[in-house]
A and B are shown apart, each in its own frame.
Chain A
């Protein structure tokens, strides 16, 4: 069926077993983002150490897509290079806003390529982007 491409096994796996969930100390910046159309919310904290993202911790409520996207974000961002993680956010945003026409680069996106199918559902794109936008915001603020 059509949505099969959206509910990838990997997405459901992250939804059922979210990685790195829960708010942790210490952190540099905490942000709270909401999606007013469906009420999804995320509170997200980042801890930077020089050029590295030391930790990304989060708490939130929402659909499987938004929860899984936060879990994948944690996996990819925590412990990675700040610059690299921001490039990945840009690539993910481009993929999500590409109406299913952008070919994802697995080298850049890693497990986040599993969300490629979501791009075909405009109503759900914001769900996938919620925590990623929160992360970008938090990094910008902690660097600002």
Chain B
């Protein structure tokens, strides 16, 4: 499968929305996949088919539809486990999104219900994150620090947009219990090397979490190869639906961790006084889960695998190299992030001298049907680091083409004409 040449035109046909017409007869150039990706027919069809033929609640209904729905839901878990090479399907916990997955991990630290030494957290202990995180990998840790009195520290970011690990040994010290960083930045595109961080964390006995929301959709990710203990990602950025995210964690950690939400399906025995809990992953999936969304995510894994994640990564690297060259030709454009297509993904954030990103985004959409994201992209501290309030971000995916990058560059020249 992965030996086939990468045929972007054929791939585009799988995404009906890409050929829709916008008001005023404009065609669509979708460069906002880092925000949310579009969905191929195969995913939409799998969800429709499930709703029309197999829908019922999972885990408890004994009738035919109930068992078909349960089978479909659990099949999706198998597919996700295989997609990220998880050693066991029971290490895949379905959540609402990546934010919930990260909150679940944070909740298990400094929690009196959790007696495992590795999760003990209080005054004098340390939590380490980085300045390039999405708010969803900052705020849960701030809340944890407030709850427990632990200290929150972070890696800085270099001018080039790389993680600054020069102070690694002092930062991740003996007091550190958890390190949580992005595998790929949602603004800079930077892909962080996990080995020095995991290596140092192991020396001091700290656990490591990765926010892989921007990585799993774009490259082969083998959870054990990263060396991390927890990995969070979300369905809607990888051709799947909204409303479903994933937490992968090593089985023995999931066993030690306390439930996050209490409710149906996560229990073993309940009395009025107390309860015992189901083993993971059910322990972390209280209430009726996003069933159809799981089916959709499973279909998204199948779809991406049929094209091949290595091939998708190659395609995106070619696009990135092309886009970096093309954007460098735009006068007054300042790229925020690595300027070379090495250890970086196809996320390109920039400022245009003297022109506010909101004006850039509005003209690109209005005149050319080009969808980009403008603002701080839920990474305000990173923007403060670079001394700017906001950027314009083009984020590419398997269905994007070099023609679309040319259209972006033409659009930017026009923006400069309007505001110049």
List residues of chain A with CB under 8 Å of any chain B CB.
1-4, 6-7, 12, 15-16, 37-40, 61-65, 121, 123-124, 127
Whether A39 and B359, one on each chain, are in contact in the complex, defined by CB atoms closer than 8 angstroms, is: no
Determine, out of B4-12, B257-265, B361-369, the stretch whose residues face the partner at the interface. B361-369
List residues of chain B with CB under 8 Å of any chain A CB.
23-24, 355-359, 362-363, 365-367, 375-376, 383, 389-390, 418-419
19 new A-B contacts at CB < 8 Å, known A7-B362, A7-B363, A40-B389:
A1-B24, A1-B366, A1-B367, A2-B23, A2-B24, A3-B366, A3-B367, A6-B362, A7-B418, A15-B419, A16-B419, A37-B375, A38-B375, A38-B389, A39-B375, A63-B356, A63-B358, A65-B358, A127-B358
Contacts of A63 in B (CB 8 A): 356-359
B152 to chain A, nearest CB (A): 22
Q: Select which of A12, A39, A61, A127 is within 8 A of B418 by beta carbon.
A: A12
Q: Select which of A12, A37, A38 is within 8 A of B419 by beta carbon.
A: A12
Contacts of A2 in B (CB 8 A): 23-24, 366
For A39, give the chain B residue with the smallest CB separation. B389
Whether A61 and B23, one on each chain, are in contact in the complex, defined by CB atoms closer than 8 angstroms, is: no
Whether B24 and A64, one on each chain, are in contact in the complex, defined by CB atoms closer than 8 angstroms, is: no
Whether B362 and A3, one on each chain, are in contact in the complex, defined by CB atoms closer than 8 angstroms, is: yes
For B355, give the chain A residue with the smallest CB separation. A64
Instruction: Name B's interface SS.
Output: helix
List, sorted by A's number, 20 A–B pairs whose CB atoms are closer than 8 Å: A1-B366, A2-B23, A2-B366, A3-B367, A6-B362, A7-B362, A38-B390, A39-B383, A39-B389, A61-B389, A63-B356, A63-B359, A64-B356, A64-B359, A65-B358, A65-B359, A121-B362, A123-B358, A124-B358, A124-B362
A50 to chain B, nearest CB (A): 38
B412 to chain A, nearest CB (A): 16
Contacts of B363 in A (CB 8 A): 3, 7
For B420, give the chain A residue with the smallest CB separation. A16
Whether B358 and A38, one on each chain, are in contact in the complex, defined by CB atoms closer than 8 angstroms, is: yes
**How far apart sit A121 and B363, CA to CA, in the bound complex (Å)?**
13
Contacts of B23 in A (CB 8 A): 2
**How far apart sit A65 and B366, CA to CA, in the bound complex (Å)?**
16
For B365, give the chain A residue with the smallest CB separation. A3
**How far apart sit A65 and B24, CA to CA, in the bound complex (Å)?**
23
Contacts of A61 in B (CB 8 A): 389
For A121, give the chain B residue with the smallest CB separation. B362
Whether B419 and A64, one on each chain, are in contact in the complex, defined by CB atoms closer than 8 angstroms, is: yes
Contacts of B355 in A (CB 8 A): 64
B122 to chain A, nearest CB (A): 33
Contacts of A64 in B (CB 8 A): 355-356, 359, 419
Contacts of A39 in B (CB 8 A): 375-376, 383, 389-390
Closest 5 CB pairs of A and B: A39-B389, A63-B356, A3-B366, A63-B358, A1-B366
Contacts of A7 in B (CB 8 A): 362-363, 418
Contacts of B367 in A (CB 8 A): 1, 3
For A62, give the chain B residue with the smallest CB separation. B356
For A1, give the chain B residue with the smallest CB separation. B366
Contacts of B383 in A (CB 8 A): 39
**How far apart sit A123 and B358, CA to CA, in the bound complex (Å)?**
10
**How far apart sit A127 and B363, CA to CA, in the bound complex (Å)?**
16
For A123, give the chain B residue with the smallest CB separation. B358
**How far apart sit A2 and B356, CA to CA, in the bound complex (Å)?**
19
For A67, give the chain B residue with the smallest CB separation. B356
B206 to chain A, nearest CB (A): 34
Contacts of A12 in B (CB 8 A): 418-419
Contacts of B357 in A (CB 8 A): 63
**How far apart sit A16 and B363, CA to CA, in the bound complex (Å)?**
17
**How far apart sit A97 and B389, CA to CA, in the bound complex (Å)?**
25
For A4, give the chain B residue with the smallest CB separation. B366
Contacts of A1 in B (CB 8 A): 24, 366-367
**How far apart sit A121 and B366, CA to CA, in the bound complex (Å)?**
12
